[in-house]
Structure 1
């Protein structure tokens, strides 16, 4: 069994499925929504666990009315949780997701409150002994502390760059693999080339940009090219990028080959788009 540690956001996604996005000032009656546990790091951990038989997640849940939903999901997906807000009152991060018949989605959500973490992550890393760590950019204060301890232990760090966040200049120099979406735009960067140049300045050796159904761009010190994405009939793209990152971590630990891991992760992520929600694909792929 491979060992990975996923650090970042956990959300409760309330997903409505509609034929098409409504116009303004329209009330749409639809089927009851799905209540799904989500978040970039959480979904990545789930994909890794599906491939590996288990995964470790560090996030902030705390104590609130929705805790049983998280507990049930983590039990079913074999996620071992470290809660940064264990037994503390907390406001859950909710996301309302509207998914249309063509698989596109619109999400309404909010940023989590920062978590003050002044303890060392040394004991956690001793316990888990991860071979790779993935971050999604949330809870930056604690994330930096985790990365600093990981760097001392020479544990590779992967970064899920979904969108630019103002605290990232402190975090990015600690990263080994940066896998960013086409929405990730550092200040002054308008093109993929500009994003690669910016990541180069942070001394990140392995970089990739995912672009939905379009090809994946990647750059290493030896190579710069793109990887074609498998075409599928898209039912729901929710979580596909997150699953890509989790699968990347697993396949990288299998081969220690950056490009091979990108290619294999892309195939899995594409297949998840054939199913509704973020968990129904698990027993069908």
Structure 2
């Protein structure tokens, strides 16, 4: 079983299903609601666990009711939480999430308060590391750990990007928002070419239904997304990063890893409830086998 260090954000999401996303300062009524764990790193860790990897989550939580909810759910998902710091007198992070009938989402996040910046880890042997940008010091430490172990280090590069961590990472996966902040001018292809030159590694940008565009040195390309009936996109990007990192740890090349990640994220989009819709390994392998021909034909 691959051992994956995942560093970054763990939260609770209070999810409200609405007809359209709120735009006015008035009272709205939800069609449905649920409480689920969230956060980029925590979602990716759950995805890795369901895909038969072993995720070790390094995050910052408070010793408060929200923190207890977060830890309990992660442990039910078989995510290792012994690297997660729990601080007395602090406040854990949580979010309110609105999801409309098209499956698009709007998120209001409280980052937490009184949480330490510097990581304090005793790390296991790892096969890869993944970090988000919500905890800069943790991201830098995770990428250094991957570099020192000579294993893949993947940065989930959303805004605000952490330049030092990006420079250490072997693989940088920008969101469109993250790429727009890092390099605002030019086409996606031009900016990825420049990013690969500046960072010296493999880079890509994930863009939902538009698929993934990648670049390494003089080579580049595009991997289409799978076409599915979208119910809920919440957490799909996090599932993608978890699946991609796990596939690299297993020794797959980047093209195969992107296709595997696209399949896992596509399945998640067909299911409600944020990371509750993360697929299993058998589901992802079956989906990939059944639908890869459609991608190859496009």
CA distance in 1, matches of 2:111, 2:225: 30
Aligned to 1:205: 201
CA distance in 2, matches of 1:259, 1:253: 14
1:40 and 2:40 correspond:
yes
Corresponding residue SS for 2:43: helix
Greater percentage in helix: 2
Corresponding residue SS for 1:109: strand
Give the TM-score taking structure 1 as reference length: 0.89
Matches within 5 A, 1:241-256: 241-256=237-252
| Number of corresponding residues | 278
CA distance in 1, matches of 2:147, 2:69: 34
Matches within 5 A, 1:2-81: 2-31=2-31, 33-52=33-52, 54-81=54-81
Corresponding residue SS for 1:66: helix
CA distance in 2, matches of 1:260, 1:118: 33
Change (3 A) 1:276 1:169: same
Corresponding residue SS for 2:80: strand
Corresponding residue SS for 1:74: helix
- Any idea what the Cα deviations from partners look like across 1:194-217, whole Å, max 9, x if unmatched? 431442244342111111101210
Corresponding residue SS for 1:12: strand
Note the residue ranges of structure 1 that are not aligned, 5 or more in a row. none
Give the TM-score taking structure 2 as reference length: 0.85
Corresponding residue SS for 2:26: coil
Change (3 A) 1:27 1:174: same
Corresponding residue SS for 1:36: strand
Return 30-39 or 72-81, whichever deviates more: 30-39
Return 150-159 or 268-277, whichever deviates more: 150-159
Shift of 1:68: 3.0
Aligned to 2:260: 264
- Equivalent in 232, 237, 258 of residue 236 of structure 1: 232
Shift of 1:188: 4.6
Change (3 A) 1:244 1:74: same
Query: Is this contact kept in 2: 1:255–1:261, CA < 8 A?
Result: no
1:175 and 2:176 correspond:
no
CA distance in 1, matches of 2:58, 2:10: 9
CA distance in 1, matches of 2:22, 2:63: 35
Aligned to 2:128: 132
Corresponding residue SS for 1:252: helix
- Equivalent in 188, 195, 212 of residue 216 of structure 1: 212
Change (3 A) 1:220 1:275: same
- Any idea what the Cα deviations from partners look like across 1:15-66, whole Å, max 9, x if unmatched? 1001222452432222452111111111111111101153110001121122
Query: Is this contact kept in 2: 1:58–1:81, CA < 8 A?
Result: yes
- Any idea what the Cα deviations from partners look like across 1:163-196, whole Å, max 9, x if unmatched? 233xx22221111001111111245523323431
RMSD: 2.2
CA distance in 2, matches of 1:205, 1:252: 14
Change (3 A) 1:72 1:225: same
- Any idea what the Cα deviations from partners look like across 1:69-115, whole Å, max 9, x if unmatched? 21221122110013553243221112111000110111111344562
CA distance in 1, matches of 2:7, 2:82: 9
CA distance in 1, matches of 2:171, 2:238: 15
- Any idea what the Cα deviations from partners look like across 1:242-272, whole Å, max 9, x if unmatched? 0000011122223430111011110110111
